[in-house]
Structure 1
Amino acid sequence: MPDPHKLVIVDPYSSGSALARRAKELYGLDSIAVLTSETLPPALVATYPAEDFTAELRYSDLLTTAAAVEELCGGRPAYLICGSEPGVEAYDLLAAHWGMRPNTGSSEARRDKFLMQGRLRDAGVRYIPHHLAADTESAVEWCAASGPAEYVVKPVKSFATDGVFFCSSLDEVRAACEKLFGRDDLAGELITEVLVQERIVGPEFVVDSVSLDGSAFVVNMFRYTKETVDGNPVYRAMSSVDVADHPEIVSYVEQVLSALGIENGPAHSELILTEDGPVLIETGARMHGGLGPTLVEESSSHSLVDLTLASRVAPADFERETRVRPTLRQGIVECFLSSPASGVIVANRVRESCGHLESYLFDTCAQAPGDHVERTTDLITSYGRVVLAHADPATLERDMNHVLDLDRRAALLEIAPRA
């Protein structure tokens, strides 16, 4: 007989690392990990909590992997969930194979940003003008003919801002392409095509949602602050936003999810609010990565992790919890810390410089003297976070500005060049 207490989690990295332990706490489930790649960045692999799983499998192909899971479970597993971005396509295959509330339409369009924008266009949903380039000259020619003042060049399956370049000239487009073609993306896949887009300007938001049988529930919103470093977007802060403040964003995200066939489970959508309304940057068919779910727990009336689990494990719980719209209990800000250079840490002053702030909640900066740090060029190479929480927006903004000022002045981390 199949084991009714088995949950399979595909790629339980980043925020997905919390799912197994929480599933055990809430529903008494044991979890099996299915890992899809052996070439992920070490920082991402390090988030995998192997101790929370009763078994671990490497994904090879659909039928082989499904058979291996069934052998462990005594048949089809009771529950299945996607833990992080690299596992989206393997998860979709397994969900469809077992008939476990699969999402519909092209799974590839839920990872490939070119196909994603095409799905929006075909569905009549606002999208960003774009072009798929298989070589540098194709990218340059499209930009020259399309006429926008600025462009974005990135791998079609980019995540965590890996390989994303903002370009204001054709020479910069050419340079970005030459840096991308022939290298591996963050998931270890060779880059043979890049997405070229018009750069859309406006405030940038991230929206987390969880769906059940085609009905989407927007759990939370954040607003991003970013800076450009050598043409790459680098996160500086992420601030909570009350969902009720932006009904137009909620409505747009519902259209996006429908166009992409994300009918069940979590989704993480990043968009820009233009004068004409929201327009999508990208959507991932998985939870907000990193600290996102933790920030939601600290600030919102609803839990992103619990709703994600309920959508796959306990639909009745999901329906009960989503009868009430989400509200903010307090504001929260995640400050992303940046290192201006690679080197060896001489002194870490994050805690002593930020721990006294009225809104200080916690930080992730445990580096000690002698540890190595990389120059920050994307989300993965940010060396840590300082998280602030407070009911008073003015206090929160004051403390955020203080942290970011210290970081810009390199006052939080003293670094010496590597020998």
Structure 2
Amino acid sequence: MPVSPPTAVIVDGYYNASSLPPVFARRGVRVVHVQSTPEPIQDWLPPDLDAYAEHIVHTDDESTVRRLAVHDPVCVIAGAEPGVPLADRLSELMGLPGNGSRLSEARRNKFTMMETLRAAGVRAVSQFKSPEVEPVLSWVAEHGTFPVVVKPLSSCNTDGVVICFTMDEVRRAAREVLATRDAFGLPNTEVLVQAYLDGDEYIVDTVSRDGQHFVSSVWKYEKTLVNGKNLYDKDILLAPEAAPVPELVAYVGTVLDALNIRHGAAHSEVKLTSAGPRLVETGARMSGGMHPDLHDVCLGQNQADLVAMAYTAPEAFLADHAGRSYTRRQPAMGYTVATDVAGIVRAIDAEAVRQINALPTVHRTVLNLAPGERIRPTVDLGTCTMRVYLTGPTDEAMLADYARVRDLKDRVYLV
């Protein structure tokens, strides 16, 4: 009697979760997709369902567990942020390695996340939430220090995040949040206000098994403040021995433990403030900026491969990676391209794209727009026009090519 190959379940395989089916396949593991919402999330890059043995649209936990049980899966993991709570519940109901449902809200709701850290003795930002604007203004008045940050409770990609320097700006930002939906299409029923965290911001990406963490990379953000919005520009791969990487790694370890992230990928964003590290947020899923083949070149590993290893070969993962950090093989950078152009894209200038890709340290260019789509002035990650990945022998070579890409970027889209 033929034996079926082992199966991994991916909940909401949007965006770069497309890297998960191939890495599981290389380990002889097929994948099943579960969509957590009745309809696909609009404006999100959908999964390639041809890569999956089955696609299940979730209706209720009991029926989804019943349909998954026939596959006898080895794991249920979140491919993207909206899938975290469902992946937590399904893995728990099926007795599979996972992070459990008890702290699911703390891994999605930014207010609950910080309060969970505080309760565990981990340093966290001061904050307040409310379904109304006036209590937010009262908290800011009592807090007494500008700037403050206004944001939705559970969105992503800097959606709705505004740095405010006056009460009028707080009022406008809070009203805007409460009047709109988050990046997942859900209404914002409450607004969050937090103290502004000074200092530089960093990414700490990890993969865990049985509460043992491996730091797969640490990157430094460089952003530009425009009209109260911190727009992404560069994220730069740091050497693991360079300050402040060890301090950030130690802090993030306490964050993961407090949030009970014991299994799988996590993407943490941390500010190194004048009072020490403070969490911006942690997602219990892979980094949205993780590009496997770039990471293989500059790191010799990538989060997707490590996730597959952690779930399918846990003994090997623990032996090779538990409690350790990455090695930087060569410098790398991600450039998130902003624009102030508005209109409809008529065409892509292939020659401009060719010139960008021909630069010595440019590894890959990902265009976010196609002919016929609207281009808007950049206000958040969702309105950036493209992403350029660079890696090379020296930081100087990369920065020179980054400057050349900046010269060429506005030629790419013909409006």
Partner of 1:338: 338
Task: Give the superposition deviation at 1:20.
Answer: 1.2
Q: Which residue of the other structure, out of 172, 175, 179, is the alignment partner of 1:175?
A: 172
* Runs (5+) with no aligned partner, structure 1: none
Instruction: Say if 1:187 and 1:240 are closer, same or farther in 2 by CA, change over 3 A.
Output: same
Please report how far the alpha carbon of residue 298 of structure 1 lies from its aligned counterpart in structure 2 after TM superposition: 2.8
Q: CA RMSD in A?
A: 2.1
Cα separation, 1, equivalents of 2:144 and 2:68 = 51
Q: Is the 8 A contact 1:345 1:373 kept in 2?
A: yes
Residues 134-283 of structure 1: pairs in structure 2 closer than 5 A:
134-245=131-242, 246-283=245-282
1:123 corresponds to 2:120: yes
What are the Cα deviations for residues 345-368 of structure 1, in whole angstroms up to 9, with x where unaligned?
Answer: 355454244234231222113856
Aligned mates of 1:41, 1:229 — CA distance in 2: 28
User: What are the Cα deviations for residues 343-395 of structure 1, in whole angstroms up to 9, with x where unaligned?
Assistant: 12355454244234231222113856555323322112212112211121111
Q: Shift in Å at residue 293 of structure 1? A: 4.2
Given the two structures, how large is their TM-score scaled by the length of structure 1? 0.91
Give the deviation of 1:295 after TM superposition.
3.6
- CA offset at residue 41 of structure 1? 4.9
Tell me how far 1:185 sits from its aligned partner. Answer: 0.7
Deviation at 1:411, TM superposition (A): 4.5
> Which amino acid is 2:283 matched to?
G
Q: Is the 8 A contact 1:333 1:387 kept in 2?
A: yes
Pairwise CA distance, 1:275? 2.5
Contact (CA 8 Å) 1:14, 1:290: kept in 2 or not?
no
Give the total of aligned pairs: 408
Q: Which one is further off, 241-250 or 35-44? A: 35-44
**Per-residue Cα deviation, 1:239-279 (whole angstroms, up to 9, x for no partner):** 11122221111100000001111011111000111122211
C-alpha distance 68-366 of structure 1, shift in aligned 2 (>3 A): closer
Distance 2:39 2:174 in 1: 22
Equivalence for 2:60: 61
2:326 corresponding residue in structure 1: 326
Residue identity matched to 2:36: T
- Paired residues of 1:4 and 1:77 also in contact (CA < 8 A): no
Task: List alignment gaps of at least 5 residues for structure 2.
Answer: none
CA contact (8 A) 2:218 2:238 kept: yes
Question: How has the CA–CA distance of structure 1 residues 132 and 208 changed in structure 2, closer, same or farther, with 3 Å as cutoff?
Answer: same
Q: Deviations over 1:125-175 (max 9, x none)?
A: 111111112111111111111012101111110211111111111111110
d(CA) in 2 for partners of 1:294 and 1:281? Answer: 27
Between the two proteins, what is the percent identity of the paired residues? 33
Equivalent pair of 2:74/2:311 in contact (CA under 8 Å): no
Q: Secondary structure at the match of 2:282?
A: strand
Report the residue type matching 1:397 in the other structure. Answer: L
Residue pairs, 1:293-308, within 5 angstroms: 293-308=292-307
Indicate if the aligned counterparts of 2:198 and 2:274 stay in contact, CA closer than 8 A: no
Give the TM-score, by structure 2 length. 0.92
